[in-house]
Amino acid sequence: MKEKATTVTLLILLSVSFLSMPLSLVTGQLGVGILLVSPEEEGVAGETVNLQGTIDTTNGRYQIWFDEELVLTSYSEGYYVNANFTIPALSEGDHVITLRDVTTNENDTYDFALTLSYSIAAVLPSSPAQLQEGDDVVLNVTITGVQPSTTHYANVTVELPEPLSTFYSRTVELVASSGETVATALVTFPSSSFEPEGSLTNYTGSYKVYFNETDSLADNEFFVGFTDSSQYHRDQTLTTHAIGYQTGENATISIDYSTGASVHSETVTASSEGIFEFSWTIPSDALIGEYNITIEADNTDKLIPDSQTFTVPGYTVKVNTFNLAGETVSEIVVEALDQATDETYDGTSDYSGVASLKLEKGTHLITAFWNGVEIGELNVSITGTSSFDLTCKLTNLEIIVQNENGNLMPFVTLDISYQYVTTKTSSAKTGSASGETDLSGSFILNSILPGISYTINASLYDIVFNAGNKTVTSVPVQPVSTVVILCPSQTLTLEIIDYNEAAIPNARIELVEVTNGLFDGAVTDTAGKVTVDVTFGKYRLRVYKDEILLNSTTIEVFSDVQREICCRLYNIELSVTVVDYFNQPIPNMKVVLRRSGVNPWSSTTQANGAAKFTNVIGGDMQIITYPEGAESSYEAFSTRVEGSKEVEIKLAKYILIGPFLIESSALATFIVILLAILLFVSIEVYRRKRAKTVDSES
């Protein structure tokens, strides 16, 4: 029982872990399977469904079927499927979603239910045209997912605008034709079929419509106004159709801007049907924005007063901003002065260099500003949606850094500062920028203001090196300007000495700048000295003698430098002492020193067992020793020599006896034989003595 509970717990934990794992991380083959469907279990025809799962074939072709209808064909990402499809127009009830791997013909299924979908909406004129008071409205009442050749019924309710909120209702029949799963009815409002009597659209406002209001199956709304449109452009004509007034009565029609300022006021007379029909042409100097129009009749007080808004929206105008080099520029403030109203509208160019504005019909002066400085202008005439190109007085500044020999220098840090004066307020401002030269030794400061001075601090290792040539005065008005910054040379004096502080003549010096790779080299004179002029920087210094690396270090050359470089591997003394198994010094042993890059050194041990070596170049060495004339009986040892030192080598295989050098193994054999002989002799003597004793006693 305990084992069973443990197994169940493990399965639950594995399931939770899998479900919490992002499906995008599925990279291994899991077979064909539907892992997720959203919405789950049920939906309506026309709804979008997201399906996630896996197939057997990596980057393989798959199909999604809804019952017998193919709704999608695509390719997996690896083994992973993430797809959206639209539910086809089928009847309500149980259905099956199938995911099929086309390559392997394997599939997985998912049970999915379709439910009825209800909708109700008014058929409206194309925006911005709108319904006017007294218009008939056609309501489209629809049920989707029904069985073909069936009849359904809907209670259609229309609610008048607040504060009236009067309800008018009627029941309509919706018929699904043979083979169709959608039942539709078109209902006209107002009509005598609505109850109670007296349905109408005489009031301005939002009318609400309901499909079976008590069951909340569907609802919507539509707007009725007394103007023919919700927006107008300059020189377009606004017309009204306001009903419900007395024949021949007068009214004042007032049009006010959103700020409350009066734009137009006029007295009009109702027609014989009690309708105010009024026309007004939007002035050529109308401001962009929202307007309110009201009708105040002398005698009639409508339950909902005729008052509504309309807008003068302006046309969408795009201004493409470019610098003098023809490149798009972002963050440019574009202002458009409407010549008719003296109003200014503005926008800012985005990352693609496009500034979007809303401007009405007429002549406009477009001005571009860079951080408050005017950099270009353009006169345009707006008649509709438009696009214009505006070239701004902005240049590109190419900064090139090189040394005194003309070698380009990458990875130099540039800190740039400048001052300028704004156009409108004549205020002094400062700005800054920074960057780093690329592999070609250059950096381009894009779209900068010409005609002003720039201070450029160039630095390596956080030290500025161009104090004498860091100011660029009055950058010209042209597409690209170039400035060259020189990195100065410094005098580097080196004295190369050995372990004993003696000069090393003819030593080869290599200097490689750590950041940009500039290379220089030289050879020391007879006094071990060398003087070179190198570019400002930090160098990896290497000292060679006969192609052997004696020293490697880093040296900073930010000013004239004098340094003494000690090569502790050069001209060292080495004493090698050879001893036997019992640490006795062994004379007359041949000792050879081997080091890569030079000829070997050799010497013979003296009576004290020591061999002396001078003028040795240290490093990784192999010491070989063997008896004179017996090169095949050598012993080899490896060691690191970094200065004068004494090395003791113990030859455990040898034992020195007097003047003779005997291998310890041979001596051991001799001793064993000798002991055996002595033992044998002792036994024989004992045996003979014992025999004599026995004879004498007898």
Choice between 22 and 322, residue whose per-residue pLDDT is larger: 322
Cα separation of 490 and 535, whole Å? 6
Q: In the beta sheet, which residues pair with residue 635? A: 625
Structure token pair of residue 105: 């013909």
Contacts with 409 (C-beta within 8 Å, 6 or more apart), sequence order: 401, 402, 403, 437, 441, 487, 516, 518, 535
pLDDT at 641: 85
Nearest-5° Cα angle at 372, 370 to 377: 60
pLDDT at 680: 79
Structure token pair of residue 480: 């690209």
Q: Is the pLDDT of residue 13 over 80?
A: no
**Can you tell me whether residue 674 is helix, strand or coil?**
helix
Share of the chain above pLDDT 90, in %: 74
Mean of pLDDT over the chain: 90
Do 385 and 316 meet the contact criterion of CB atoms below 8 Å apart?
yes
pLDDT at 25: 44
Q: Residue 354's closest CA among 322, 380, 312, 385? A: 322
Cα separation of 371 and 629, whole Å? 92
Structure token pair of residue 328: 């798009």
Whether the CA torsion 667, 672, 673, 679 is positive or negative: it is positive
pLDDT at 668: 65
Do 340 and 284 meet the contact criterion of CB atoms below 8 Å apart?
yes
Q: Is the pLDDT of residue 14 over 50?
A: no
DSSP state of 270: -
pLDDT bracket for residue 15 (50, 70, 90):
very low
Only one residue has tokens 């202008």, namely 377
Q: Is the pLDDT of residue 229 over 70?
A: yes
Structure token pair of residue 483: 């400035």
Q: What is the mean pLDDT of residues 451-472?
A: 91
Q: What is the dihedral of CA 461, 467, 468, 469, to 10 degrees?
A: 70
Do 487 and 412 meet the contact criterion of CB atoms below 8 Å apart?
yes
DSSP per-residue letters across 515-582: TT--EEEEE--TTSEEEEEEESEEEEEEEEETTEEEEEEEEEESS-EEEEEE-TTSSEEEEEEEE-TT
Residue 327 main-chain phi, psi, to 5 deg: -95, 145
**Can you tell me whether residue 510 is helix, strand or coil?**
strand
Structure token pair of residue 132: 């006017």
261 to 307, 343, 365: CA distances (angstroms): 16, 15, 26
Do 372 and 334 meet the contact criterion of CB atoms below 8 Å apart?
no
Nearest-5° Cα angle at 466, 462 to 472: 120
pLDDT at 4: 40
Q: What is the mean pLDDT of residues 440-453?
A: 95
Q: Residue 274's closest CA among 300, 254, 294, 295? A: 300
Task: Count CB-CB contacts under 10 A for residue 115.
Answer: 12
Q: Is the peptide bond before 305 cis (omega within 30 degrees of 0)?
A: no
Using CB atoms within 10 Å of the CB of residue 47, give its burial: 0 to 12 exposed, 13 to 18 middle, 19+ buried.
middle
Phi-psi region of 315 (alpha: psi -120 to 50; beta: other; left: phi over 0): beta
Q: Note the Cα 622 to chain centre separation in Å.
A: 55
Cα separation of 312 and 286, whole Å? 8
pLDDT in tens, 188-224: 999 999 999 999 999 999 999 999 999 999 999 999 9
pLDDT at 8: 37
Cα separation of 325 and 641, whole Å? 64
**Can you tell me whether residue 632 is helix, strand or coil?**
helix
DSSP state of 54: E
pLDDT at 1: 41
Q: What is the mean pLDDT of residues 133-161?
A: 95
Cα separation of 542 and 530, whole Å? 13
Using CB atoms within 10 Å of the CB of residue 28, give its burial: 0 to 12 exposed, 13 to 18 middle, 19+ buried.
exposed
pLDDT at 697: 64
End-to-end CA distance of the chain: 96
The domains located in the chain, with CATH, are: 22-114 (2.60.40.10), 117-225 (2.60.40.10), 237-312 (2.60.40.1930), 315-391 (2.60.40.1120), 395-487 (2.60.40.1120), 489-566 (2.60.40.1120), 572-662 (2.60.40.10)
Contacts with 362 (C-beta within 8 Å, 6 or more apart), sequence order: 234, 284, 285, 338, 339, 340, 381, 382
pLDDT bracket for residue 428 (50, 70, 90):
very high
Q: In the beta sheet, which residues pair with residue 152? A: 174
pLDDT bracket for residue 670 (50, 70, 90):
low
pLDDT at 695: 67
pLDDT at 588: 87
Q: Note the Cα 552 to chain centre separation in Å.
A: 41
pLDDT in tens, 494-533: 999 998 889 999 999 999 999 989 999 999 999 999 999 9
Ranking 26-30, 246-250, 608-612 by mean pLDDT, the lowest is 26-30
Structure token pair of residue 178: 């043979």
pLDDT in tens, 582-641: 888 989 889 999 988 888 888 999 989 899 998 888 888 889 898 887 777 788 888 888
pLDDT at 5: 42
pLDDT in tens, 345-397: 999 999 999 999 999 999 999 999 999 999 999 999 999 999 999 999 999 99
Cα separation of 543 and 497, whole Å? 11
Q: What is the mean pLDDT of residues 436-455?
A: 95
Q: Note the Cα 295 to chain centre separation in Å.
A: 58
pLDDT in tens, 677-688: 888 788 878 777
pLDDT at 664: 58
pLDDT bracket for residue 54 (50, 70, 90):
very high
Instruction: Count the alpha carbons within 13 Å of 294 in the hemisphere toward its beta carbon.
Output: 13
